[in-house]
Amino acid sequence: MPADAEALKRLVGEAAAELVENDMVVGLGTGSTANCLIDSLGERVRNGLRFIGIPTSKRSEERARALGITIEGFDRHDRIDLCIDGADEIARGSLHLVKGLGGALLREKIVAAASDRMVVVADESKLVDHLGTHAPVPVEISSFGWESTVRQLAQLGARPTPRRDRDGVLFVTDGGNMIVDCAFAPIEDPPTLEASIRAIVGVFECGLFISRAECALVAGPDGVVRIDRG
């Protein structure tokens, strides 16, 4: 079995692509693992699969379109049958997630919320006992008044860092907003923290995904394991 990270992502992308059936409406995630899923779906489309993709970012949309996947939007669809997306951390048991290191968390959460089922795909390095162990919680905020919003995030106990590119320019999301990466000590109560972050005026969404994933497909040296929410 492949052990390097890229091979594991391809493996889990292939496994997740098998969940898609003809005529489904499918939320397409963002990130390197979701890219492997999209590539595998492109292969299946070449072999005759028909489905509609609703992407969670401009880059996933471009990748999917280039592979011949049909892309539509919420103007055509009220509900999504299945959303498949990556994660930065997956809590064992609860399957609460941290997402958004790729900057797509707001669109990802909108798509997840509109989906009947969410399946998260990852390699085993993303499994943790407590969220916040390795990854900060990305928070998408308004660029107007961002300094005030950042101060309020710090009052929740975070060490907030506005995300910038290599040249020091503030990162801009697909929706034209900012991201603040909020490092917390391991998070004891993710649902309460999510509610507290979302209550701050100026915050659009945070990268904590609470009880949204029905199951995780996790790739390791022994293959892909399905973990259901406990």
Ligand X SMILES: O=C[C@H](O)[C@H](O)[C@H](O)COP(=O)(O)O
Among 14, 89, 108, 205, which one carries the catalytic annotation?
108
Residue 85 counted as an annotated binding residue: yes
| Nearby residues of 7 by Cβ (< 8 Å), 6 or more positions away | none
Residue 33 counted as an annotated binding residue: yes
Q: Which amino acid is at 98?
A: V
212 and 112 in contact (C-beta within 8 Å)? yes
The reply to whether 31 sits near ligand X by the rule CB under 6 A is: yes
Contact range with ligand X by CB under 6 A, out of 64-72, 84-92, 142-150, 213-221: 84-92
CB of 44 to ligand X, least distance (A): 20
The reply to whether 60 sits near ligand X by the rule CB under 6 A is: no
Rounded to 5°, angle at Cα 86 from 63 and 143: 80
- Return the number of the residue (60 or 147) whose C-beta is nearest ligand X: 60
Q: How far is CA 70 from CA 30, 150, 158, 169, in A?
A: 17, 39, 41, 34
Q: Which residue has the tokens 């100026």?
A: 202
Give catalytic status of residue 72 as yes or no.
no
28 and 84 in contact (C-beta within 8 Å)? yes
Host H or E run for residue 9: helix 5-17
Taking the C-alpha atoms of residue 153 and residue 105, their distance in angstroms, rounded to an integer, is 17
Choosing from 53, 86, 160, 202, the residue that interacts with ligand X (CB under 6 A) is: 86
CB of 9 to ligand X, least distance (A): 7
The reply to whether 95 sits near ligand X by the rule CB under 6 A is: no
55 and 114 in contact (C-beta within 8 Å)? no
Residue 101 counted as an annotated binding residue: yes
CB of 85 to ligand X, least distance (A): 5
Total number of residues that touch ligand X (CB under 6 A):
18
Choosing from 32, 125, 155, 192, the residue that interacts with ligand X (CB under 6 A) is: 32
The reply to whether 137 sits near ligand X by the rule CB under 6 A is: no
82 and 24 in contact (C-beta within 8 Å)? yes
- Which residues are documented as binding site? 30-33, 85-88, 99-102, 126
- Which residues are documented as binding site for substrate? 30-33, 85-88, 99-102, 126
The catalytic site residues sit at 108
